[in-house]
Amino acid sequence: MFLRPSLIVRGVAASALAAVAVGLASPAHSGTRDKAFFERVAGQWKGPGEIVAGKYKGTKFTCDLKGEPTSGHEAGIKLDGFCRVGVFKQPMSAMITQKGGKYGGKFLDGADGQGLDIVSGNVANDKVVVGINRKKLNGAMIARLQDSETMNITISVKVEDTMVPVIGVSLNRQMDNIAVGSIK
Residue 180, in any domain of the structure = no
Task: Output the domain CATH number for residue 136.
Answer: 2.40.128.20
Residues 165-180: b if buried by 16+ CB within 10 A, e if exposed: ebbbbebebeeeeeee
71: amino acid identity, one letter: S
pLDDT of residue 85: 94
pLDDT digits over 91-127, tens only? 988 877 777 778 778 888 889 998 899 888 777 888 8
Split into its structural domains, the chain has a count of 1
State the residue range of the domain holding 138: 3-174
pTM, 2 dp: 0.76
Overall average pLDDT of the 142-146 stretch: 89
- Is residue 5 within 8 A of residue 160, CB to CB? The reply is no
Residue 159: inside a domain: yes
